[in-house]
Amino acid sequence: MPGYLSGMTSLPFEVRESPLAGKGAFASRAIARGERIIEYTGERITHAQADLRYDDDSMDEHHTFLFTVSSRTVIDATYEGNESRYINHSCEPNCETEIDRGRVFIFALRDIAAGEELAYDYAYQRSGDETEKEERQYRCLCRSASCRGSIMEPKSAFELRQRAAAKTRTTRARRTLSSSGKSRAR
């Protein structure tokens, strides 16, 4: 694949001040749909280490360069990270992330014009007990037509996940009851 990841040293974007938040990544050339733009790199740490490094309770506004890879691993791009950490959130993203064998890559969701800011949907998972302070900390500044007002996943997505988990628990419980009933019937 041509570009940054195949050995060329120039990125298809540049980092500069963003109207969305702090610094952002802006396409320095046209980027084709499906193009792998960059790998999200940084120090690989545990969730417990990330919690020790960043105390959301003491922050007025959430600001970290963390990317969850798995239930055990988080990438902290503050340490050993690259320019990928400047790709901001948008509720109408032009990029998406893909985790492949523990590595995180950022791809173009659609054709991106030179000068356009790159963004993907952070979609932080909700726990269901978010406070007003947390809603403020995780507010979205993308100003897109479909902005949901938060960099957290839509509440509807959280509710779907909760229903799916409940259904899975119910199905497992039924299987357990069914199989334990069969063994008693002998």
Residue with tokens 């809603």: 135
Note the pTM of the prediction, 2 decimals.
0.76
For residue 157, pLDDT over 60 is answered with: yes
Q: What angle do CA 90, 73, 121 make, to 5 degrees?
A: 10
pLDDT tens profile 93-152? 999 999 999 999 999 999 999 999 999 998 888 888 888 888 888 889 898 999 988 888
Q: Where are the domains of the chain?
A: 4-153, 154-186
Measured distance CA(157)–CA(160) in Å, rounded: 5
Q: When comparing pLDDT for 97 and 62, which is higher? A: 97
Measured distance CA(119)–CA(27) in Å, rounded: 11
Contact between 69 and 104 under an 8 Å Cβ cutoff? The reply is yes
The 3-state DSSP class for residue 100 equals strand
Band (pLDDT 50/70/90 cuts) for residue 11 is very high
CATH 3.40.50.1980 assigned to domain 4-153? The reply is no
DSSP state of 102: T
pLDDT at 54: 81
For 145, the token pair is 């037509």
**What are the angstrom distances between the C-alpha of 17 and each of 23, 34, 125, 186?**
4, 26, 27, 73
Side-chain-facing half-sphere of 116: CA atoms under 13 Å: 18
Q: When comparing pLDDT for 51 and 61, which is higher? A: 51
Measured distance CA(28)–CA(11) in Å, rounded: 8
pLDDT tens profile 175-184? 777 666 554 4
